[in-house]
Amino acid sequence: MLYTSETIQQLTEEFSRLPGIGRKTAQRLALYVLKMPTDEVRAFAQALVDVKEKVRYCSVCSNITENDPCAICAGPKRNRRIICVVEEPNDVIALEKTHEFNGLYHVLGGALSPLDGVGPEDLKVKELLNRLAGEIDEVILALNPNVEGETTTLYLAKLLKPLSVKVTRIARGLPIGGDLEFADEATLTRALEGRVAL
Amino acid sequence: MLYTSETIQQLTEEFSRLPGIGRKTAQRLALYVLKMPTDEVRAFAQALVDVKEKVRYCSVCSNITENDPCAICAGPKRNRRIICVVEEPNDVIALEKTHEFNGLYHVLGGALSPLDGVGPEDLKVKELLNRLAGEIDEVILALNPNVEGETTTLYLAKLLKPLSVKVTRIARGLPIGGDLEFADEATLTRALEGRVAL
């Protein structure tokens, strides 16, 4: 008799389905929920259901939103001539946190990965090309600096070259607060290649 | 505009209230929920509400249960003359996993901690004494081997001494698979003190 309560067992299983949450953590969370105030637990349950019911994808940039187009695409103060291409909605959140980018986004929904069977038709590439028919000054490629992200960056750069639009990519180099001594060779190579005049 | 979806922001906040889940993990989980099948998310939400609505504390051992008394206290095959005292319901789950203990439990609901203002009246100590009025052969103290657990063990040992019941505590020593060389002094001291004849 491992669990004297079936509902605790059930909730433990639900938690352990989430990424990065193992069996023991799931059990600890389930028992924590038991001690939470009832109204907080209800709000949590409602938030879960709401996410599935209310969240849609923006028909312009494919970012998550509740209103179509999303608040960024509909924002009156955003620069509509610059598009920043990212992989996932959390990349938009990360970039918005910098408060440095005032243009629009385009969420691909992933990166090219032949091994996982993800090709251009699985990403919002066609939608990006359609947007470039308008008046766009610059496309910034801000994909993850790993194999899939690099592949996608090179693919998109090649695809966008014939169009009369400036295509840039975000810089690769030493992270702020990092230590040159402990940087890996690939990062240091990119940092040297990407050096800028002072 | 950090979040283009208020419900994702709401769910991120709900997740980040759980212990051991930071802001970034919470955001990742919220976006993962968005990709989960709707019926799985509904089951998750239902499990959360169920835990608050259905789970009670057993009137005998104070363990979590849906039926009072709990399945262990009501179990026909359990040895009702041995009581194992633990701090929390997850300790019962851990001990049941061993399949080695066939007696009953008593969940204190914590351990003595004067610094946090937890005294004997905050724990199910009175309830334990009431149970000892029946026919009990042995009380096993299985509290956590930290300051609060040790304090509680010593307090209970003193309290139970006048009663004609055998009081034992679980062994402290080297964990299986551990390395003597890397064991801390306190653990090695306890292992020496607790040595048994071969």
Residue B24's domain comprises: 6-39
Q: How many domains does chain A have?
A: 2
Render pLDDT for A12-66 as a digit per residue (tens, 0 to 9): 999 999 999 999 999 999 999 999 999 999 999 999 999 999 999 999 999 999 9
Give B99-114 pLDDT, tens digit per residue: 999 999 999 999 999 8
Nearest CA to A83 out of A124, A163, A157, A139 is that of A139
Confidence of residue B155 (pLDDT cuts 50, 70, 90): very high
Q: Determine, yes or no, domain membership for B192.
A: no
- In this complex, the residue of B11, B28, B55 whose CB is nearest that of residue A90 is B28
Confidence class of residue A178 from pLDDT cuts 50, 70 and 90?
Answer: confident
Confidence of residue B177 (pLDDT cuts 50, 70, 90): confident
- Name which of A60-64, A136-140, A174-178, B100-104 the model is least confident about: A174-178
Place of tokens 């090179």: A154
Same domain assignment for residues B32 and B99? no
Cβ-defined contact of B96 to A43 (cutoff 8 Å): no
pLDDT of residue A2: 67
Asked if the Cβ–Cβ distance from B45 to A46 is below 8 Å, we say yes
The mean pLDDT of A75-98, rounded to a whole number, is 93
Residue B144 belongs to some domain of the structure: yes
Helices within chain B (DSSP H only): 6-16, 23-35, 38-54, 89-97, 125-131, 147-160, 185-193
Per-residue pLDDT reduced to its tens digit, B37-93:
999 999 999 999 999 999 999 999 999 999 989 999 999 999 999 999 999 999 999
- The answer, for B51 touching chain A at a CB cutoff of 8 Å, is yes
**pTM value?**
0.80
Q: Which residue of A has its CA nearest to B54?
A: A7
**What is the reported pLDDT for A191?**
87
Tell me what pLDDT residue A55 has. 92
CB contact under 8 A, B2 and A97: yes
The partner residue sitting opposite B6, judged by closest CB among A3, A63, A66, is: A66
Q: pLDDT band for position B3 (50/70/90)? A: confident
B126–chain A nearest CA distance, Å = 22
Specify if A139 maps to a domain.
Answer: yes
Q: Comparing C-alpha atoms, which of B114, B102, B108 is closest to residue B138?
A: B102
Is the residue at A55 inside a domain? no
For A10, nearest residue in chain B (alpha carbons): B47
Has residue A3 got a pLDDT over 80? no
Is A93 touching B (CB cutoff 8 A)?
yes
Instruction: CATH number of the domain at B156, please.
Output: 3.40.1360.10
Per-chain mean pLDDT for chain A: 92
pLDDT of A125 reads: 95
pLDDT over 90 (residue B1): no
Q: Do A64 and B31 touch (CB under 8 A)?
A: yes
Contact A31 B5 (CB under 8 A): no
**H-helix or E-strand spanning residue A104:** strand A104-107
For this complex, say whether ipTM is above 0.90: no
Q: Are residues A80 and A153 in the same domain?
A: yes
Give CA–CA dist B87/B148, Å, rounded: 10
Interface of B with A in 11-40 (CB under 8 A): 11, 14, 17-20, 25, 27-34, 36, 38, 40
CB contact under 8 Å between A3 and B93, yes or no, is yes
Question: Does residue B139 surpass a pLDDT of 70?
Answer: yes
Chain A CB within 8 Å of residue B71 CB: yes
> Residue A20: which CATH number?
1.10.8.420
